[in-house]
């Protein structure tokens, strides 16, 4: 297995600079009618979720797990001009790398018998997890052992270009 890199090195490959060219009139924000802002009961800072805490818990795994390098594509990406363009870029640049990193990490833990009741998960579009109340998040982390579309979405995600959101929404009166 010549020319392999650590999982830590693999994850540190930066994404290429992707130009953003918002439309002059971006239009109405897309929403899911099955959920709304009032469904969010609270928000807060997760102080224990930071690089130092992650390295303290997983540095050995990140250094010992090895995989072939996979450099980012060198052709310049197109500008993000719409929400679909952003989803396309995430599908091209992020999904495969996250899936590969998760697979490598879980494979390493299984090899050294250190799963410790962890459930191997993968990352893909929201429909790969169970759809609840017609809510289809853009992304999903789901258990790989379950048939597609049957297991819970362990971290549903919604993809939005920067011109459709604001950090000021964190203190919106509905929350």
14 and 74 Cβ atoms separated by less than 8 Å: no
Beta bridge partners of 125: 139
Average pLDDT over residues 12-27: 85
Q: What is the pLDDT of residue 60?
A: 97
Between the CA atoms of 82, 83, 84 and 86, what dihedral angle is there, to the nearest 10 degrees? Answer: 90
Name 90's Cβ contacts closer than 8 Å, sequence gap at least 6.
139, 159
Average pLDDT over residues 59-84: 92
What pTM was estimated for this model as a whole?
Answer: 0.86
Average pLDDT over residues 87-101: 95
**Is 60 exceeded by the pLDDT of residue 1?**
no
Return the ∠ at Cα 122 (arms to 134 and 105), rounded to 5°. 160
The per-residue pLDDT for range 113-124, each reduced to its tens digit, is 999 999 999 999
* Highest mean pLDDT of the ranges 44-48, 138-142, 165-169, 170-174: 138-142
């Amino acid at each position: 297995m010549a020319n392999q890199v650590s999982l830590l090195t693999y994850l540190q490959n930066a994404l290429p600079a992707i130009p953003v060219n918002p439309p002059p009139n971006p239009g109405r924000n897309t929403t899911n009618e099955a959920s709304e802002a009032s469904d969010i009961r609270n928000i807060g800072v997760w102080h224990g979720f930071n690089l130092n805490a992650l390295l303290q818990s997983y540095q050995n795994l990140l250094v010992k797990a090895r995989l072939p390098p996979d450099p980012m594509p060198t052709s310049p990406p197109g500008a993000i001009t719409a929400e679909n363009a952003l989803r396309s870029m995430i599908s091209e640049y992020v999904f495969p790398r996250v899936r590969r990193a998760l697979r490598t990490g879980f494979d390493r833990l299984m090899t050294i018998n250190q799963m410790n009741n962890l459930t191997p998960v993968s990352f893909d579009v929201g429909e790969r997890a169970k759809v609840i109340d017609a809510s289809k998040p853009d992304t999903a982390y789901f258990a790989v052992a379950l048939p597609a579309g049957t297991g819970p979405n362990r971290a549903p995600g919604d993809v939005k270009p920067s011109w459709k959101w604001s950090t000021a929404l964190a203190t919106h009166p509905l929350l």
